Amino acid sequence: MKVAIISDIHANTLALEATLNQIETFNADKIFCLGDILMAGYDPNGTAKIITELKNLEIIQGNTDKMVACFSQDLLEKAKNKFPCMGYALEDDLKIIDEKYKNFVRNLPENKYIEINGLKIQLVHGSPRQQDENIYPNMPISEVEKMVENSNADLILCGHTHLPCGYSLNSGKTVVNVGSIGRSMTEDKMPYWAMLEIADDGTFQIEHKSVKYDNKKVSELIKNRNFKHSNDLAKMYIKE
Ligand SMILES: [Fe+2]
């Protein structure tokens, strides 16, 4: 069984299409999506259309999907103060995102357990204990152990930080942050995802993959959205 795992698409249709084209060459049986599909990109409705039409998809809600779905004026003001380009992007997103896609992300679960060939897998956005908790590269193993201690999965799949990484824990659990498709924080700014292969006896291999796409074009498209601070958001798509 082959599973492609994607996360944090952030309304970047070009990056999603490039990734799905690459995934097709691996003949994946399923796709898992770990959330953050809509907010702060250039094309939320286009991205949502592709995601909702995918076959053999398991998907959970990300913290920014929740912000779009459960919007309040208070939340918006806090977002604008804390991270201005994100707050103003959200304000503009709320005007253009189709109600059916807001409803779609509103109704997604925060996490999911899936068992394949005896392998217990948990899908989370941040960590098993919190939707917006960061599992970063190079963290002390003991810290990661604590973050996943309430999970009884063998393999925990997460995103949220936009930085791919992985941990084999002393408890026997494996934790893999697959990275981000739509706004990668890696040096190359390219989409990262993970390919999981599970044998009939439940043993598995998981590997990060990346793909090239036209990030400069997306940076321009973001800038052209013209909400306040869209320039700052646009800079996040290109190498400094
Ligand atoms: Fe994200």
Q: Is residue 12 part of a domain?
A: yes
Q: Is residue 240 part of a domain?
A: no
* CA 77 to ligand 1 centroid distance, Å: 19
Of the candidates 21, 17, 27, the residue with the CA atom closest to the CA atom of residue 51: 17
Q: What is the pLDDT of residue 238?
A: 97
Please, which pLDDT band fits residue 24 given cuts at 50, 70 and 90? very high
Q: What is the pLDDT of residues 10-23, one digit of tens each?
A: 999 999 999 999 99
* CA 170 to ligand 1 centroid distance, Å: 28
Query: How far is residue 51's CA from residue 139's CA, in Å, rounded to a whole number?
Result: 32
E strand or H helix at 49: helix 44-53
Q: Is residue 40 part of a domain?
A: yes
* CA 201 to ligand 1 centroid distance, Å: 33
* CA 23 to ligand 1 centroid distance, Å: 20
* CA 200 to ligand 1 centroid distance, Å: 33
* CA 197 to ligand 1 centroid distance, Å: 25
Count of structural domains, the chain: 1
* CA 173 to ligand 1 centroid distance, Å: 24
* CA 162 to ligand 1 centroid distance, Å: 6
* Overall pTM > 0.85: yes
Q: What is the pLDDT of residue 79?
A: 93
Q: Is residue 50 part of a domain?
A: yes
List the CATH number of the domain containing 25.
Answer: 3.60.21.10
Ligand 1 (single-atom ion) residues, CB below 5 Å: 8, 36
Query: How far is residue 53's CA from residue 65's CA, in Å, rounded to a whole number?
Result: 18
Q: Is residue 7 part of a domain?
A: yes
Q: What is the pLDDT of residues 161-184, one digit of tens each?
A: 999 999 999 999 999 999 999 999
Q: What is the pLDDT of residues 117-134, one digit of tens each?
A: 999 999 999 999 999 999
Please, which pLDDT band fits residue 71 given cuts at 50, 70 and 90? confident
In which domain, by residue range, is 16 found? Answer: 2-235
Considering the chain, what is the average pLDDT of its residues? 97
| List of residues 6+ apart from 213 with CB closer than 8 A | 14, 15, 17, 18, 19, 190, 191
* CA 64 to ligand 1 centroid distance, Å: 7
